[in-house]
Chains A and B, each alone.
Chain A
Amino acid sequence: MSTYSLSDGLASGAPRLSRAPLLANWLRETGVGVLASIAWIGFGLSCLWWQDVGDWSRTHSVGIAAFIVAAVALFGTLGADYLGSAGRGLRKRAPWLVALGAFLTLWEVATAKFAWLPLPFFPPPQSIVEVYTDDLPKLLDSVFASVKLQLGGYLVGATIGFLTGVSIGWSHAVGYWVHPVLRFIGPLPATAWLPIAFFTFPSSWSASTFLIALATGFPVTVLTWSGVASVSNAYYDVARTLGAKPSFLVLKVAIPAALPHVFVGLFMGLGASFAVLVVAEMIGVKAGLGWYLQWAQGWAAYANMYAALIVMSLLCSGAITLLFSIRDRLLVWQKGTVKW
């Protein structure tokens, strides 16, 4: 590339630059997409080329699906300019598509075709697809049970935690009584309560809800409390001189100011509650993904375990994504560094 001074660069530099790099640019932009397409064609071929070493019914369909993905990647990349945001998204994710295609090819070859990995423990992709198609009702039931249990426990825990945190942060009297209890019980892992909870509560469902609420409640309480306690006195002074009553100070000053802390607590509580949910389902509750995992292990149905794990991870990361998007919506005022 030639160097050019500011004076000629402004007038003639731009057009001079445009020809050759345009082609290079086009290659760079579409190259990865084409590569992604090739990787998925590779996956499709690896499914159909060799015979399976085991008996799996979905090998053919998975191969066809891989070709469809390859076609979508190819035409999507070439026509990205006409596809708007979808095209741009595809281009951005093309490197991941390449990696995924390559990984699936390797997985397929290493398991279903040549059994380089010991077989019952490392099922091929098509056997996991098979679980999703053939065992769907049971899996969906488990998902539904898990979500219900998790949501109920989490909402109860977060609500109680939030209210407790605000009360401790606001009132010295409440703090005097609740703080020691919190210090004594809070750090105990919620799972330690499992044996007691399952015979003191009337049902395994209520016991698990209690445990999930406990795991959620502790971090939410502590962080809400520290958030409320750290609100600057200047805010209260301003509100008071403007005629604010105590209820206004709590609802419109303390809580909004503490909200960033509260969301950290909600996030930590979510992580802790997932762990409790799975353990509770494995031990006591006769439904849900944790139970499904346990059940699959009992039958040595390894494909089902992987399938359930994938669903579980999607649900957990989905829940965290949801929490974060709620936070971003509520805390818009934190974002941005634009200064006028």
Chain B
Amino acid sequence: MVALAQAIARPAAGAALDIEQVSHAFDIDGAELPVLSDVSISVEPGEFVALLGPSGCGKSTLLRLVAGLDKPRSGTLREDESRINSPHPSRVVVFQDPTLFPWRSVWDNVALGLEAQGILKSQRHRVDDALDLVGLSSFRSAYPHQLSGGMAQRVALARALVNDPKILVLDEPLGKLDSLTRITMQAELVSLWQRKGFTTLLVTHDAEEALVLANRVIVFSDRPARVKADIRVDRPYPRHRGDPYLADLRRQILGLLGLDATW
């Protein structure tokens, strides 16, 4: 409900995302390997949805479908009623690896989207704004090899945000960071999302991260992934990691993932 209120307060900031009966499979040496099985998720504008599941279950595949990088075998994906067929800068992905272009400076990396769309000349200030947003203005002329892991991921985030995406797709973006940087960046993500109001889709395999960030957690089964549970997290931000309500949800989620014995 918080998210819905935000979406109303800032119209057109986030887009609705409808995933309808999507199934997908890979061909591996002629054998059919199903990865997604009849997945249906409906995301409201401005919602922060976390996709949680065992590693290799097909979450990242679903994100590639949302981004339009791949086409599903069956089913449809829609952004605000229009069908997703190809990538579009209104749905930007931040991958687990920052994948900054090493031959471009930080500023040029962030400018990539505007340049690709041919609007950089008139919109240069947006690049500066995005760098300000992630606090890396002073590193504008640095090259990626000069950045730490957390900084590189922040640049990747700025490179996504500069396009003013309606849906931000995050594929374990904090997965490779050290735990301290991770916690800082989780807080930054929430505040960015609250300020900008875009719809966020976050793939993670960390239940705690999902609960601290998202207002909805969708739990997937093992491959082929199907939706196992759809959990609302009705808690105001900033959330406290020790919150007993979240701890309870976490136990529940780990149970769904078959890890209750270790808890």
Chain A residues with a Cβ under 8 A of chain B: 232, 234-235, 237-245, 248, 252-253, 256-257, 259, 331-334, 336-340
Rounded to whole Å, the gap between the CB of B61 and the closest CB of chain A is 13
> With an 8 A cutoff between CB atoms, is B72 at the interface?
no
Would B103 and A241 count as touching, CB distance under 8 A?
A: no
Residues in chain A near residue B172, CB distance under 8 A: none
Would A238 and B99 count as touching, CB distance under 8 A?
A: yes
Tell me the chain B residues, 73-89 only, with Cβ under 8 Å from chain A: 87-89
* Interface bracket on B: 20 to 34
- With contacts A243-B113, A252-B115, A333-B104 taken as known, whether A237 is within 8 angstroms of B146 at the C-beta atoms is no
Residues in chain B near residue A331, CB distance under 8 A: 103
- With contacts A237-B95, A241-B91, A241-B92 taken as known, whether A333 is within 8 angstroms of B116 at the C-beta atoms is no
Q: Other CB < 8 Å A-B pairs besides A242-B89, A256-B103, A337-B145, 13 of them? A: A234-B99, A237-B95, A239-B116, A240-B69, A241-B93, A242-B92, A242-B113, A243-B88, A248-B116, A257-B103, A259-B103, A333-B102, A340-B151
A-B contact pairs, 18 of them (CB 8 A): A234-B99, A237-B93, A237-B95, A238-B95, A241-B68, A242-B89, A242-B159, A243-B89, A243-B113, A243-B117, A244-B116, A248-B115, A252-B115, A252-B116, A257-B101, A332-B143, A333-B105, A333-B144
Residues in chain B near residue A256, CB distance under 8 A: 101, 103-104
Rounded to whole Å, the gap between the CB of A198 and the closest CB of chain B is 43
Rounded to whole Å, the gap between the CB of B105 and the closest CB of chain A is 8
Question: CB-CB contacts of B104-140 with A at 8 A, as 1s and 0s?
Answer: 1100000011011100000000000000000000010
Residues in chain A near residue B113, CB distance under 8 A: 242-243
Residues in chain B near residue A244, CB distance under 8 A: 112, 116
- With contacts A234-B95, A257-B103, A340-B151 taken as known, whether A241 is within 8 angstroms of B69 at the C-beta atoms is yes
Would B101 and A241 count as touching, CB distance under 8 A?
A: no
Q: Is the interface of B mostly helix, strand, loop or mixed?
A: loop
Tell me the chain B residues, 33-88 only, with Cβ under 8 Å from chain A: 67-69, 87-88
Would B97 and A234 count as touching, CB distance under 8 A?
A: yes
Residues in chain A near residue B2, CB distance under 8 A: none
Would B116 and A242 count as touching, CB distance under 8 A?
A: yes
Tell me the chain B residues, 191-239 only, with Cβ under 8 Å from chain A: none
Chain B residues with a Cβ under 8 A of chain A: 67-69, 87-89, 91-93, 95, 97, 99, 101-105, 112-113, 115-117, 139, 142-148, 151, 159, 163
Q: Roughly how many angstroms separate A241 CA and B86 CA in the complex, as a whole number?
A: 9
Rounded to whole Å, the gap between the CB of B6 and the closest CB of chain A is 24
Candidates B69, B91, B148; contact of A340 at CB < 8 Å: B148
Residue of chain A at shortest CB distance from B93: A241
Rounded to whole Å, the gap between the CB of A20 and the closest CB of chain B is 43
Q: Roughly how many angstroms separate A333 CA and B147 CA in the complex, as a whole number?
A: 12
Q: Roughly how many angstroms separate A338 CA and B144 CA in the complex, as a whole number?
A: 11
Q: Roughly how many angstroms separate A336 CA and B102 CA in the complex, as a whole number?
A: 12
Q: Roughly how many angstroms separate A248 CA and B87 CA in the complex, as a whole number?
A: 14
- With contacts A338-B146, A339-B146 taken as known, whether A333 is within 8 angstroms of B89 at the C-beta atoms is no
Residues in chain B near residue A238, CB distance under 8 A: 93, 95, 99, 101, 112, 159
Residue of chain A at shortest CB distance from B112: A242
Residue among A232, A234, A240, A245 facing the most chain B CB atoms (10 A cut-off): A240
Q: Roughly how many angstroms separate A237 CA and B61 CA in the complex, as a whole number?
A: 13
Residue of chain B at shortest CB distance from A259: B103
Residue of chain A at shortest CB distance from B97: A234
Q: Roughly how many angstroms separate A94 CA and B139 CA in the complex, as a whole number?
A: 42
Q: Roughly how many angstroms separate A267 CA and B142 CA in the complex, as a whole number?
A: 28
Rounded to whole Å, the gap between the CB of A101 and the closest CB of chain B is 44
Would B101 and A235 count as touching, CB distance under 8 A?
A: yes
